[in-house]
Amino acid sequence: EFISSYYFNKMEYTRFSSSVGKYVGFTEYGVKNAEAWNKDASLLSGLRAQKETYCQHNIQIDYTAALTKS
């Protein structure tokens, strides 16, 4: 799962989660940002593609490294 979180004063206000596939707001400001960002289809598709770039690529590497150390 790819997660991109946004914080202000140690408080999370917005998060993109690849399992949800869109931004979710946790504060009033975060909800407004999430609504605006979720309207941008190119932004969402780019973030969904980052799951493939960062997560899928490293699954086998991390899995193998964990097994060799146990």
**70 pLDDT band (50/70/90 cuts)?**
low
How high is the pLDDT of residue 62? 81
Top-level CATH class of 3-68? alpha beta
**pLDDT tens for residues 23-52?**
999 999 999 999 999 999 999 988 888 888
Q: Is the CB of residue 15 less than 8 Å from the CB of residue 26?
A: yes
**57 pLDDT band (50/70/90 cuts)?**
confident
How high is the pLDDT of residue 66? 82
Whole-model pTM: value is: 0.74
